[in-house]
Amino acid sequence: MNPILVLGGGPAGLSAAGELAAIGAPTLLVERESYLGGNPVRWQYSLLAPDLHPAEDVMGPLLRRVEGSASIERRLGTTLVSAERSAKGYRVGLKNADTVETREVSAVILATGFDHFDSRRKFEYGYGRYPDVLDFKEVEKMLHEDRIVRPSDGQPPKRIAWILCVGSRDVQVGNPWCCRMGCVVSIKQAVEVRQKHPEIDAYVYYMDIRTYGLWEDLYWKSMQDHGVKFIRGRIGQVTLAEGGSRLLATGEDTILSRPTEVPFDMIILASGMEPSAGTRDVASLFGLPVGPEGFLTPRESDLNPVDSGIPGLFLAGAATGPKAIPDAVTEGMGAALRAYQYARD
Amino acid sequence: MNPILVLGGGPAGLSAAGELAAIGAPTLLVERESYLGGNPVRWQYSLLAPDLHPAEDVMGPLLRRVEGSASIERRLGTTLVSAERSAKGYRVGLKNADTVETREVSAVILATGFDHFDSRRKFEYGYGRYPDVLDFKEVEKMLHEDRIVRPSDGQPPKRIAWILCVGSRDVQVGNPWCCRMGCVVSIKQAVEVRQKHPEIDAYVYYMDIRTYGLWEDLYWKSMQDHGVKFIRGRIGQVTLAEGGSRLLATGEDTILSRPTEVPFDMIILASGMEPSAGTRDVASLFGLPVGPEGFLTPRESDLNPVDSGIPGLFLAGAATGPKAIPDAVTEGMGAALRAYQYARD
């Protein structure tokens, strides 16, 4: 059997490759970055929401299973540059540095993931101009190292605000969809800060709190056990206050129906999820349909969530929309099973 | 190989059994009801949120694949009454009417699902007392048959309200968790009503609208294209008005910060999701850990979402928490793959 190509080495791709190896299918894992692990490794995620497992305890085993397998051929720093149907599967071109190699593969799993919204595009929040306005993916590393300080002066903050839906649910920036993870990850960050530094006050500005299903438990606990404060409102802009030493969040409290203007030492933006460059590339290479948001769409979204609808082409993880890690892992399993059946038959 | 036991014939169980058959594993599918299909069939779901696919187009193929397979032994009206570890898998007792049969199985997939919250427990909304207060699962059948009338007098309603979070996010009734599907299914119902009967006004009372990820699109469309109206507020009680011919919803509008009292012709309750009786039974039979909500919990919720942590015992679908149909289908695939690997090794 020609190998099954898994494109993307984040949680979904690692899960798919690991399961294919376990079932005995030769696997070719291709990742455009120089390392495996995707966004959780790239941004050094700290604890995972909502169960507060250290990210290493999840990514570590996923990575080791793939790295320890003799039946998985790994290609890092490699991109897919061409793809055409062949007798049974696909003939693909893989580019590493200046070399392009052609390979025959029996099926393809697209696990090309997401990118975080570039918060500089939400100009009015000052990200990139004010050093103490941070993106929440950068805060993961600070939490991981337990070094919660203001980049401007190295001092610990007294009061932190999280602004949800930055580049999400926002027609103005062209992203009307919800990033799904912004609420729960921000709440998790606020809990992590309060657990380690109860002297820091934590405020969350939101439109709707979307801790769906059993995630609600973390929302309750964040208020009752950790004293995180929630303000339903839209922050219109962030400016400098007090001679430039603090930040001022200005907007409307939509429960009290009145303007709000509060100084903070640090402001953390919950940036949205967008289709990654790799996801956009494969959509174009394979001529795959995408939804209005630019994510890949299964042809039968309810009945066959991991099938592209094109023979031999399967989907897993955030390439089809914002997703939590366990969902990406499970989709990796589903796509592995379907691809294996296809390649074997 | 002894068969793999799939317990539960809803979307997750049908998916698991179908995939096991496809990969060549003998399968024993056990369902306590007299029919397959789970809640979607029991309640005759109309269109599925958010993509508005007819439920038959999803459940039909899932059912036909299982019913047409020679390698799936189906047992309806049958419950699991005992389970003990055997040399390789489990020895289980299956009860049908008065007969108990003992079988050896090589692995077990628990796909025992959820039950809807009994809305009579939310006494103040009058469900069970006022005929025009309906549970949203009953409305699916009305939508399916396009027969939207008031049970009290057979007349079409002029104005309908949906009350979200009935038996969800409610410490008073002992269900603090979110049902995950209530927002999107209610919005879908309101869209379905407005598409078929634009003369009917549709109002949705909510705390937070949780159309997470790409589901947000339906929320936007419901307002912009279909004129569904959203009121952030908590309805405290429903009473009779106008000599008993209409219903009065009384509560607080939490955006306008003022009391609200509005007459409606029909009120639809978005009832929550609870662990099913079958889910509670298997937790006790297998000595499985359950979370504070009573759902089954994977031992490693991020890394191994479909593994119970007990050898040979796998989890899929709403047995582990509220879940949409495509997630249940994908988890069925993941559990099938893991169970197959376990049984084969």
Q: Which pLDDT score is estimated for A274?
A: 97
Residue whose C-alpha is closest to residue A330's, from B256, B298, B158, B170: B298
Q: Which amino acid is at B287?
A: G
Put simply, whether A293 touches B (Cβ < 8 Å) is: yes
Pairwise CB contact (< 8 Å): A61 & B303: yes
Q: Are residue B128 and residue B254 in the same domain, yes or no?
A: yes
Residue whose C-alpha is closest to residue B270's, from B206, B196, B325, B192: B206
Q: Are residue B267 and residue B291 in the same domain, yes or no?
A: no
- Contacts B212 to A, Cβ<8 Å: 178, 180, 210, 212, 322
Q: Are residue A57 and residue A77 in the same domain, yes or no?
A: yes
Interface of A with B in 109-148 (CB under 8 A): none
Residue whose C-alpha is closest to residue B211's, from B226, B230, B192: B230
Pairwise CB contact (< 8 Å): B177 & A301: no
Interface of B with A in 68-97 (CB under 8 A): none
Q: Are residue B189 and residue B293 in the same domain, yes or no?
A: no
User: Nearest CB to A216: which of B57, B178, B329?
Assistant: B178
Which value does ipTM take for this structure? 0.96
Q: Which pLDDT score is estimated for B116?
A: 95
- Confidence class for position A69, pLDDT limits 50, 70, 90: very high
Q: Which pLDDT score is estimated for B316?
A: 98
Put simply, whether B53 touches A (Cβ < 8 Å) is: yes
Pairwise CB contact (< 8 Å): A214 & B254: no
Q: Are residue B317 and residue B291 in the same domain, yes or no?
A: yes
Domain end among B272, B298, B321? B272
Q: Are residue A163 and residue A59 in the same domain, yes or no?
A: no
- Confidence class for position A257, pLDDT limits 50, 70, 90: confident
User: Nearest CB to B212: which of A212, A216, A300?
Assistant: A212
Mean of per-residue pLDDT scores for chain A: 96
* The model's pTM: 0.97
State the Cα–Cα distance between residues A12 and B195, nearest whole angstrom.
38
pLDDT at A2 over 90: yes
Average pLDDT for A148-168: 97
Q: Are residue A133 and residue A148 in the same domain, yes or no?
A: yes
Average pLDDT for A42-70: 97
Q: Which pLDDT score is estimated for B244?
A: 86
- Confidence class for position A242, pLDDT limits 50, 70, 90: confident
Q: Which pLDDT score is estimated for B256?
A: 83
Domain hosting residue B39, numbered range: 4-113+276-344
Pairwise CB contact (< 8 Å): B302 & A212: no
Q: Are residue B130 and residue B267 in the same domain, yes or no?
A: yes
Pairwise CB contact (< 8 Å): A329 & B305: yes
Domain end among A229, A255, A272? A272
- Confidence class for position A321, pLDDT limits 50, 70, 90: very high
Number of domains in chain A: 2
Per-residue three-class SS string for chain A: CCCEEEECCCHHHHHHHHHHHHHCCCEEEECCCCCCCHHHHHCCCCEECCCCEEHHHHHHHHHHHHHCCCCEEEECCEEEEEEEECCCCEEEEEEECCEEEEEEECEEEECCCEEECCHHHCHHHCCCCCCCEEEHHHHHHHHHCCCCCCCCCCCCCCEEEEEEEECCCECCCCECCCCCCHHHHHHHHHHHHHHHCCCCEEEEEECCCCCCHHHHHHHHHHHHCCCCEEEEEEEEEEEEEHHHCEEEEEEEECCCCEEEEEEECEEEEEECEEECHHHHHHHHHCCCCECCCCCECCCCCCCCCCECCCCCEEECHHHHCCCCHHHHHHHHHHHHHHHHHHHHC
**Min Cα–Cα distance to chain B from A333, Å:** 5
Q: Which pLDDT score is estimated for A227?
A: 98
Domain end among A239, A272, A305? A272
Q: Are residue B135 and residue B213 in the same domain, yes or no?
A: yes
The residue of chain A with its CA nearest to that of B184 is: A212
Put simply, whether A62 touches B (Cβ < 8 Å) is: yes
CATH number at residue A125: 3.50.50.60
Q: Are residue B311 and residue B259 in the same domain, yes or no?
A: no
Put simply, whether A334 touches B (Cβ < 8 Å) is: yes
Put simply, whether A211 touches B (Cβ < 8 Å) is: yes
Interface test with A, best of B51, B64, B178 (most A CBs within 10 A): B178
Q: Are residue A206 and residue A221 in the same domain, yes or no?
A: yes
Q: What is the mean pLDDT of each run of 10 residues along chain B (345 residues)?
A: 97 98 97 98 97 97 97 98 94 96 98 97 97 97 95 97 98 96 98 97 98 97 98 94 92 88 97 97 96 95 96 98 98 98 93
**Min Cα–Cα distance to chain A from B86, Å:** 24
Put simply, whether B62 touches A (Cβ < 8 Å) is: yes
**Min Cα–Cα distance to chain A from B284, Å:** 21
pLDDT digits (tens, 9 = 90+) for A14-25: 999 999 999 999
Angle at B138 between CA B134 and CA B141, to 5 degrees: 135
Q: Are residue B260 and residue B141 in the same domain, yes or no?
A: yes
Pairwise CB contact (< 8 Å): A210 & B214: no
Pairwise CB contact (< 8 Å): A337 & B220: no
pLDDT at A154 over 90: yes
With a CB cutoff of 8 Å and minimum separation 6, the contacts of A28 are A3, A4, A5, A6, A72, A73, A75, A103, A105
User: Nearest CB to A333: which of B48, B57, B337?
Assistant: B337
